[in-house]
Amino acid sequence: MKNKPLVSLLMITKNAEDFLFYALKSTYNFVDQIIIADDMSTDSTIDIIKSFPEKKITLIRENFNRDKQRQRNTCLALAKGIWCLVQDDDEVYASNQLEWLRKFIQSNDAVKYNEIFFKMLW
């Protein structure tokens, strides 16, 4: 039996070419699965997504009519991970935060929690 992925990344996007590469680069190696719901971007968003190895990315392109809740729920329905990391298309995480998080959720202490929040620095 194949092991269940530990972390699924959920991202919704539309025309995010300015920061998307950096956002995905900051989390790609940390997560086991990436699900991106794109609301029919007209810029280079799709090219940026396709520049990453496809093995862990599921891309849904659909006209969501700016319904972010439906976009997020679409991602959530496809998530296979024990944990979900919700990342905006313009958020970049520091690797030390993600290394700490991965170690923590693999520890026995993580079973006491059902969500973890990071303080974001702008």
pLDDT at residue number 115: 84
Q: Give the 3-state secondary structure of residue 35.
A: strand
Provide DSSP, 43-91.
SSHHHHHHTS-GGGEEEEE---TT-HHHHHHHHHHH--SSEEEE--TT-
Helices 20-27 and 95-106, packing angle to 10 deg: 40
Per residue in 74-121, pLDDT tens?
999 999 999 999 999 999 988 888 888 888 888 877 878 888 887 665
pTM above 0.85, yes or no: yes
pLDDT at residue number 16: 97
Of residues 9 and 109, the one with the higher pLDDT is: 9
Specify the DSSP class assigned to residue 40: -
pLDDT at residue number 1: 38
pLDDT at residue number 109: 79
Q: What is the spatial distance between Cα 23 and Cα 28, in angstroms, rounded to a whole number? A: 9
